[in-house]
Structures are given as structure tokens and as C-alpha cells.
Structure 1
Amino acid sequence: MSDLAATGRRNWLSQPGLRIGIAAALLLLLAGFVSIVWTPHPIDSVNVGAALQGFGGTHWLGTDYLGRDLLSLLMKGILASFIVAAIAVVIGALVGIPLGLAAASWGGPVEWAILRLTHFMFAFPALIAAILITALAGPSMVNVMVAVGLFNIPAFARVAHAGMASFWQRDYVAAARLSGMSGAEVARRHILPSLVGLLGAQAVLQLALGIIAEAGLSYVGLGTQPPATSLGLMLKDAQTYAPMQPALVLVPGIALLLIVVALHLVSDGLRDRLDAPLRQIGADRAA
């Protein structure tokens, strides 16, 4: 077991920000996953006579312009936004991590080509590019997953490449290479386990960015489409009626803010936990 992995696990919950972020994120995501089996009211239950109600009564957070329960919509919206962002993270990780590891282990023209590709993708604003892709491919949750996932690839590739380069000259890695083990096997058995923490922190960050991207795309009509819902679609539907019922904007807006802040706290906390051992690795290499 590497020093990085052992140190990363030791007292990893001692930071208040990390604990708060994990608790808040889990609470909000739990509300989303509960909606798979239960919501206070069916989200397709339309009752125009009960439209734009405020907090309280049988609708705890009020109703939208069609009389649908806001709490039920919120729970379903959190779930949809999370699923889109999570699948986009998986797409980015499955492609980006092998690319980053290959660049560091093979070096030469392969490394140059992969790094140039990631720099090229970083040069474009991801949200603008995602809007262009979904506008051309058509509005849907699947197209949002693919568009956001494509721009997760360079983020994971960069982290995997930097981590691989940090460990490549370590004694135990050099010994494994001298034993005849292939570069791919060395990466899988000795390096990738040590990068789990760093890649996990990056995944949480990309998850937060993916939720923001999904909300932005749905807000402009290129993401989740009715009868499904998401946080961005809730904000889009609310813009006309917000002056009459501010809760239509406040409920999904605050939920979106809390989820993103919570995930950023988790990502920052994980990175802070890993900074010390990584600095030690750098000092060892310099020595």
C-alpha cells in the first residue's frame, strides 16, 4: 500500500468543511434517490386550480404554474441533474484516465499528441461548446451527457498524467518495471490505486460542474425535456411566473447552489487531505 493511499485515508473526515460538504451532498442526493420510489405528489398530477400556491398546506414548498407539487418536482429534478452529471463524469473518466496514463508511460510523440489535444479542448469554454453540440445534435438528456462528458476527458487526463509522472520514478515502480512488467500493468497495479484519491476529488469537482452545465443547458431549452424535469428546467419554467410566486425560482435555485457548494467543499477537502503526501513525494524526488 502506498504512503499516499494510507495518508489519504487517515483521519480524512477531520476537516469541518469536508464533513459539512459530505453531509449536505448526501442529504440532497438522498432526497433525489428517494424520488425513485416515493414523492409527496405525482409530478404529472396537474391541478390548475391549485397553481402558484405558497409554502404550507398539503404542498410544503408550494406549487408551480400547473399546480404541480414543488417538493416532488425538486426531488425528481435533483435526481435527473445528478444522473446526467454522473454519467458525464463516467464518460470523462473512462476515456481521460487511460489517455493520461498512456501519455505519461509512453512519452514521446504519444505524450505530445495527447497533451496537445487536452490543451486544445481546454481552450474552449466547455459550456459554450456543450451548447453548440446539443444545438446540433438536438435537445435531450443523452446529448447533454455526451457533450459534458467530452469536456470532462481533458480534466481526468491531466490529473492522471500528472499523477503518473509523479510516481513513475518511485523505487517500487522502477522495481516493477525492471521485473519485466508492462507499463499498463505497472499503472494498473502500482500507480492507479495511489491516484484514486486525486481522481476522486476531480470526479466530485466535475460532478458539480456537470450539474451546473446541465442546469444551464436545460434553462436554454437544450437539456432535459418535458415531461421529465431537472433543476435547470424548473428554473426555465419559473421565469415567467417568478414575480407572482418567487418560490418557483428560490426552491430550485437554492437547491442548485447548495448541491454545487457542497460538492466543492468535498472536492476541496479531499484535495487538501492529499496535498501533504503529494508534497512529500515531490520532496523525496527532489532529494
Structure 2
Amino acid sequence: MSRGVLQAVGLVRRYGGLTAVDHVDLVAPPGMITGLIGPNGAGKSTLFSLLTGVEQPDEGKVMLGTTDISKMRPDIRSRRGLVQTFQVPSLFPTLTVADNLLVGAENRRRDYAGGLLGLSAPGRGRTSRLAEGVLEKLGLAPKGPVTQVVEEVLESLGLSDVRDTIAGTLPTGALRLVEFARALCARPDILLLDEPASGLDAEETAKLSELLRRTAAEGVGILIVDHDVDLVFSVVDQVYAMVGGRVVASGDPQEVRGDPTVRSVYLAQAPLAAAASQPGEA
């Protein structure tokens, strides 16, 4: 399956006299995990908003493959394959886990042979009337192959036991895994993950790392921003470091970790300082 590269080209976003994103260039290729790090106020969240269409740039453009998507609404970008998870889980709290995934799967219709993770679990789920109502409001109608995708993702993420659980009753860690599952059900070309490890314990974080690698191996491009820099540096193929709205270093994770500007900016920040001073590191 051919997937497009996500590119930020000279993106600028100003709020009065403050330039939150200052001529940022970024490339997130398919089949690779790209990390985005930076201290609070670096412009990471604003850049994410520009990429997803929540905000519009004052200068520059966002490209998905050969298409300029800068003026497209977030829902249109999502249906074109640019799918996001949020810092605060945005599930339907009164729907079951399976029905939340079904809404995600129905948000983007196209062939997706074998499911995102290459599994072949038979479709056995049914949509609740409440989920059907949500889908009707979205102008969508559930189809057999879509429920199969949902069941495959539930199984692959170990969520089958909670498939019929009301999402709003789950703890934060489980909610994040469910939101990640819903994003997978949307069959993304590019997956934007905003603080996906927040609220996860060590075991759940390890599972997330494995899922990220497996997802990228299927050809999906992933852009991740997370304060868990150990997670970021352990899974990414390339990383961008932002400070004051600008990219100050980019490329190989080890090279970025050792960059003098990055090290000086993060010197007083314990998490990155610890990551940058592991045994054997310069």
C-alpha cells in the first residue's frame, strides 16, 4: 500500500507579538517513527494543531504526499489518513470499547487488506443501537468488514476482555490504549500521537513501544510527542527538538541527544538529563 509523507514546510504561527511556531520544517515518512521533543512552551502542541488542521498557519504549508492539506478541516485530513490521538482521551464515555473502535473504523472507508496489524481474526462484533445512532449522525453506516477490523485490533492490543465494557468506567491507562486502538481502526497512513504514554504504567508503556514498532513496520508513519523521553528515544527512527518555536536539532536520536543546544536547554530537566547521561553516553 502506498502511503504519503507528512511534511511541514516553513510553518509559522503567531499570536499577536508571540511567534509560537517559527518557520518549522518537518518530515514524517511512512514506515518510520518520528519523535518531537521540547520543553514546555516550545511550540510542540501548536505544531500538532497546525498539522491536524485545528489551527491554520500564518505562513507555510502542510503536505500529505503531493497534496497541500493546509486548508483542509481536521475531519477531512483524518479521512485522508492523518489520524491523531489526544493528550486527554476523547472517547465516547457512554459507548462500549468495541463501539468506540467501530466509530473510528467507520470514519474512514477504504480497502485495508488483512487489517493494520496483519491479523485474521473473524469479525464477530455487533454494533449497539447507541453506536449506530452516533454513526448515523456522522452520516455513516456500519459494515461487516469494519467490525472485523475492530475485532482484529481488540485482539492485537489485548483488549478483547473489555470489548463490552463502557469506556467511561476504565482507568486512564486503559483509556489511552483504547484511544490508540481506535486510531488504528481508522487505518491511518500517518499517526500523530500526543502524549500517548501519559498515565501508563511500565508494563503498558512497554506494550505501547511494541505496538508502535509493529505499526511502523506495517508502513504507517508515526509522529510522537511525549514527555517520557526514555520512550521517545527508545522507539524513534528520527527526532526533532524544538525550543522557542524553532527546530534546533533534528536527525538521528543519538546525535540529537548529544547536541550541545539540546543538552544545554534540558540540563535542568531531570527526565532528559537522565536519558542523556546513560552509561556509555558522551
Q: TM-score range by the shorter chain?
A: under 0.3
Q: Say which structure is richer in strand.
A: 2
Structure 2 length-normalised TM: 0.24
Larger C-alpha radius of gyration, 1 or 2? 1
| Structure with a larger share of its residues in helix | 1
Calculate the TM-score normalised by the size of structure 1: 0.24
